[in-house]
Amino acid sequence: MNHADAHDLLAPLSLDALDGEVRGELEAHVAVCAQCQRELDDLREVATALGTTSLAAPEGLWERIAARLDERPAPIEPPPLVFAREGHPPSARALVRVRRALAAVSLVAAAAVVALAVGLAHESARVGSLTSALASAQRGAVATALATPGHRVVTLTSSSGEGLATFVMLPDGRGYLVRDALAPLAAGRTYQLWGIVAGRPVSIGVMGRAPRSVTFTLADATPSALGITVEPRGGSLTPATTMVASGAV
Amino acid sequence: MEDLAEASDAQLVTHVARYSQAALAEVYRRHGGAVFGLASRVLNSRAEAEDVTQEVFLRLWNAPERFDPTRGSLRAYLMTMAHGRAVDAVRSLSAARRREAADATRSFAPAPDVAQRAWDAVVSEQVAAALAALPEAERRAIELAYFEGHTYVEVARILDEPEGTIKSRIRSGMRRMRGELERRGVQGAEL
Ligand SMILES: [Zn+2]
């Protein structure tokens, strides 16, 4: 379908008033024509206004939706933002596993309370298109970070020494993924980034199955090392046995 | 996590992408009523409108990356999905079954997001006024398509007019609607 014919049909399409072949052809054109896409997006907003009522959803409907979310494999909240758990330290075994995994890194055992506030702007392949709009801003941020005095470049390597991920960290606690060579994971798995703070692994956040842009902010604490593990989707509270990549800060 | 009630729609979706049920609940609080309202208007059936509403929110849960904030509002994304599904359902139902399915869709429990509902009430008032300002022929074509789920070809048959005429009536009607809504201060970004 050419642009003129397509453009002619955008208003009916915005009302879902097309079907069959015509609809398929039109949608194929819209997918590759920025002008038609913009026009259709605009018309959809008008249609949305047209369909707006002040009805409330029926009582109990949310509960039925929520119940179906539970059919999914163990939805897990993102890792906690603050670790301040005197008396609830990570289990000794978890710590040992991390020590082993990060043997190259000097870990300071300490029982100090650690508070690490983390804000992950973009962390998951699930937010791929959400972050696409921000991707260029992200590249700009990375470039700016690399030009900022006092920045540190942290390279995380596999046990065989292969460079798998490079972060740039700023003195104010912000950090960005500069590049990575992490293979995309199977569905249901995610990469998770850890900081070793006062000898303890602290979750910085999940990075998704195929990390692209990762931004984080560390408040009040500077990790001595970063590590990446593979975890079940949603992330874990304590790291998996094996770090796929780690590096001293 | 920051206060979800303060988060933008786009921020909420990034939380949904991280499997935050609380974020999905907040999206529902803001938009569940409108999604259900549109579905029940098209389907004329509370049970089927509930099914569509469930599908829409489960879809957002399962594929949040489908929402592209650079292309429009989350409200429009959800409403577009709801309308598409409602229309598919309507086209698969026989006319008799549709009449049969027409049960009460008027008295529902209040939605938690009062401010959103108040705004929606303003929008729907303005939309009614904007619709009323359209030439009768344009309004009729748009209503038959959007609310009754007819294709524009079917609308042409119902109104006994050439397809091309209906197509251009829908086009000019939608353009006029957009102008009317903008004039009345209802714009896409505010929905
Ligand atoms: Zn085009």
pLDDT in tens, A80-111: 333 333 333 344 444 334 433 333 232 222 22
User: Are A129 and B68 in contact (CB < 8 Å)?
Assistant: yes
Look up residue B66 and give its DSSP letter.
G
Q: What is the pLDDT of residue A70?
A: 62
pLDDT band at A25 (very low <50, low <70, confident <90, very high): very high
Residue/partner pairs of A17-24 with CB below 8 Å, 24 or more apart: A17/B145, A17/B146, A17/B150, A17/B151, A17/B152, A17/B155, A17/B170, A18/B151, A18/B152, A19/B91, A19/B151
Phi-psi region of B72 (alpha: psi -120 to 50; beta: other; left: phi over 0): left
Q: Which residues pair with A218 in a beta bridge?
A: A118
Whose CA is closest to A79, among A124, A113, A110, A141? A124
- Mean pLDDT of successive 10-residue stretches along chain B, which has 191 residues: 78 87 93 95 93 96 88 94 94 60 39 70 86 94 96 96 97 94 68 42
Can you give the pLDDT at residue B53?
Answer: 97
Q: Which fold has domain B4-93?
A: Rna Polymerase Sigma Factor; Chain: A (1.10.1740)
CB atoms B65 and A50 under 8 Å? no
More confident: A246 or B53: B53
**Cα angle vertex A43, ends A37, A47, to 5°?**
140
Q: In one letter, which amino acid is B12?
A: L
Strand segments (E) across chain A:
117-118, 152-157, 163-169, 174-180, 189-197, 200-208, 215-219, 225-232, 243-248
CA-based nearest distance A246→chain B, Å: 24
**What would the CATH number be for the domain defined by A3-90?**
1.10.10
Q: What is B71-106 written as a DSSP string?
A: TS-HHHHHHHHHHHHHHHHHHHS-HHHHHHH----S
Instruction: Given CATH 2.60.40, say whether it is the number of domain A152-248.
Output: yes
Facing residues of A176 across strands? A168, A215
Residues A100 and A240 sit within 8 Å (Cβ to Cβ)? no
Give the closest of B127, B142, B173 to A52, CB-based.
Answer: B127
Q: Which residues pair with A230 in a beta bridge?
A: A191
Mean pLDDT, all residues of chain A = 72
| pLDDT tens string A157-203 | 888 888 888 888 888 888 888 888 888 888 888 888 888 887 788 88
Cα–Cα distance, A14 to A16 (Å, whole number): 6
The confidence band for A129, taking pLDDT boundaries of 50, 70 and 90, is very low
Q: Where are the domains of chain A?
A: 3-90, 152-248
CB atoms A9 and B25 under 8 Å? no
Contacts of residue B10, defined as CB under 8 A and 6 or more positions apart, other chains included, come to A130, B69, B74
For A19, the enclosing helix (H) or strand (E) is none
Q: How far is the CA of A35 from the centre of ligand 1 (A)?
A: 6
- Give, as one character, the DSSP assignment of residue A207: E
From chain A, the residues in CB contact with B167 under 8 A are 8-9, 11-12
Q: Are A108 and A249 in contact (CB under 8 A)?
A: no
Question: For the domain bounded by B112-183, which CATH number is listed?
Answer: 1.10.10.10
Give the Cα separation of B27 and A99 in Å (integer): 41
What percent of chain A is modeled with pLDDT above 90? 21
Task: Select the highest-mean-pLDDT range: A60-74, A231-245, B154-168.
Answer: B154-168
Chain A positions touching B71 (Cβ under 8 A) are 37, 41
Q: What is the ipTM of this complex?
A: 0.88
**Three-class SS state of B51:** helix
- Any residues with CB less than 8 A from the CB of B14 and at least 6 apart, and which? A121, A122, A127, A130, B64
DSSP A108: -
Higher pLDDT, A77 or A204: A204
Smallest Cα distance from B136 to chain A, Å:
16
| pLDDT per residue as tens digits for the range A215-226 | 787 766 778 888
SS (H, E, C) B140-163: HHHHHHHCCCCCHHHHHHHHCCCH
Query: Are A127 and B40 inside 8 Å of each other by CB?
Result: no
Whether the CB of A210 is below 8 Å from some CB of chain B: the reply is no
Which candidate, A134, A16, A12, A40, places its Cα nearest to that of B188?
A40
Query: What residue spans define the domains of chain B?
Result: 4-93, 112-183
Judge: A51–B37 Cβ closer than 8 Å, yes or no: yes
Residues 126-155 of A with CB under 8 A from B: 126-130, 132-133
* Distance between Cα B160 and ligand 1 center (Å): 30
Stretch A114-136: mean pLDDT: 35
Rounded to whole angstroms, how far apart are CA atoms A247 and B18?
A: 26
pLDDT band of residue A140 (cuts 50, 70, 90) is confident
- Tokens describing residue A12: 């009916």
Specify the higher pLDDT residue, A247 or A3. Answer: A3
Contact by Cβ (8 Å): A192, A206:
yes
Q: Which SS3 state, helix, strand or coil, does residue A5 take?
A: helix
**pLDDT recorded at residue A235:** 79
Give me ligand 1 centre to Cα A22, in Å.
14
Q: Which residues contact B167 (CB under 8 A, 6 or more apart)?
A: A8, A9, A11, A12, B152
